[in-house]
Amino acid sequence: MTLERRAAMATLLAERGDDLLVVPGLGSTTWDAAAVGDNDRNFYLWGAMGGAAMIGLGLAIAQPSRRVAVITGDGEMLMGLGALATIGTQCPPNLAIIVFDNGVYGETGMQPSHTQAGVDLLGVAGACGIASRLDVRDEDRLEDLARQLKNLRETLFARVQIAAAEPPRVLPTRDGVALKERFRASIGVKP
Amino acid sequence: MSAQPGDWPDRLFETLKRGGIRQVAYVPDAGHARLIDRCRADDEIRDVALTTEEEGVALAAGAWLGGDRAALLMQSSGVGNCINMLSLARACRFPLLMLITMRGEWEEFNPWQVPMGSITDPVLELCEAEIFRVLEPSEVAGIAQRAVQYVFGQERIAAVILSQQLIGKKVWTK
């Protein structure tokens, strides 16, 4: 069983609360987050492939009183796999890394990713020392993940198995400076 | 206690502290060993060891989103690992302070260090980094301070290049 990506994103970000900061990864997860509803506390990525998890780490360390959710795709995560090792050594209690895994590179023509060939991102996260992990394959587990995200107390890694589909693109602004400034302003960071 | 020429990493550390740097990311490097030790021993600085330098570019962006100032320590070979991720800092104007120890430019024992060392400056310039080159121990504090002001005052990228002449040649004990 697989989940539909937009519905999964909506479930995770419903009642997100003011203290949830979201870093969607390059590509489909950025469109998903924008489709669910634009928010100043989303820092959408239009590039920096492989960097989403590390942006989340820097943000989580800087903002220990807020929760940080990196929500990215399997291809984006695979490009920055070393970040899981780095995060495993830091383990900020307020960081969740959530990978929407459809086993393909949806933006470039549905070529298979390594996860389709059996590379196990949950296993990698575990081997890197991230103790709290969730394998999400159905609605019940997705609700579990949403609950854990609300009460985040330790670094969490979740793999969400989604269908390989391409819903219509919903594009947020591409102006990186504007995205940065509005994000910082929304959490009261001084210029 | 008078300053000794070999104390320049302490001058860098003091500059980072004065500049309010809260996150220091690094790939371990012999030239940065003393600075890394100082950062690891400091309660106010979160030290983050990386698997590859580009992780540090992304970390520094996240830190700034959350209001923290970060610094990224690396050897010149690491500059090549950062090129695409530097697009993040360029596209969004994230401040990025890089402290780079040079290899492959002066009394280099290992010829494999030369290819990247020989193009470190032009690569950084192409990536819109302002270069602050240090040749003498006495210059370290002043130049590093200027770089800190440039980076966080203008939200720009700076590379403090710590020349191999400053660091001294790597001693091979074997």
Q: What are the structural domain ranges in chain A? A: 5-186
Cα A182 from Cα B14, distance rounded (Å): 32
DSSP notation for A57-91: HHHHHH-TTSEEEEEEEHHHHHHTTHHHHHHHHH-
Strand boundaries in chain B, DSSP class E: 21-26, 46-49, 69-75, 96-101, 129-134, 157-162
User: What is the structure's pLDDT at B173?
Assistant: 58
| Confidence at residue A81, expressed as pLDDT on a 0 to 100 scale | 98
H or E stretch at B40: helix B33-41
Q: Chain B closest CA to A158's CA: distance in Å?
A: 20
- Which among B52, B63, B84 is the nearest to A62, CB-wise? B63
Q: Which residue has the tokens 């296993």?
A: A123
Look at residue B171 in the predicted model and tell me its pLDDT. 61
Count Cβ–Cβ pairs < 8 Å, chain A vs chain B: 120
A78 touching B (Cβ < 8 Å): no
B129-147: pLDDT as tens digits: 999 999 999 999 999 999 9
Task: Identify the pLDDT of residue A19.
Answer: 96
Measure the CA–CA gap between B119 and B128, rounded to whole angstroms: 14
- Which residues of chain B, if any, have pLDDT below 50? none
The fold of B5-167 is: Rossmann fold (3.40.50)
Please state, in angstroms and rounded to a whole number, the distance separating the CA atoms of residues B24 and B141: 18
Model ipTM over 0.90: yes
CATH architecture of the domain A5-186 equals 3-Layer(aba) Sandwich (3.40)
Report the residue of A44, A46, A180, A187 to disrupt the B interface, i.e. the one with the largest count of B CBs within 10 Å: A180
For residue B106, what pLDDT is reported?
83
Contacts of B85 in chain A (CB under 8 A): 48, 50-51
At B88 the pLDDT is 98
Number of other CB atoms surrounding residue B139 within 10 Å: 15
CB-CB neighbors (< 8 A) of B58 in chain A? 48, 50-55, 58, 80, 83
**Nearest CB to B92: which of A50, A56, A180?**
A180
Q: For residue B86, give the chain A residue with the closest CA.
A: A48
pLDDT along chain A (191 residues), means of 10: 93 95 96 97 98 98 98 98 98 98 94 97 98 97 98 98 94 97 96 65
Judged by CB atoms closer than 8 Å, whether chains meet at A51 and B88 is answered as yes
At B109 the pLDDT is 87
- Name the residue among A44, A41, A117, A113 with its Cα closest to residue A76: A113
> Which chain B residues touch A89 with a CB distance below 8 Å?
48-49
pLDDT of residue B168: 82
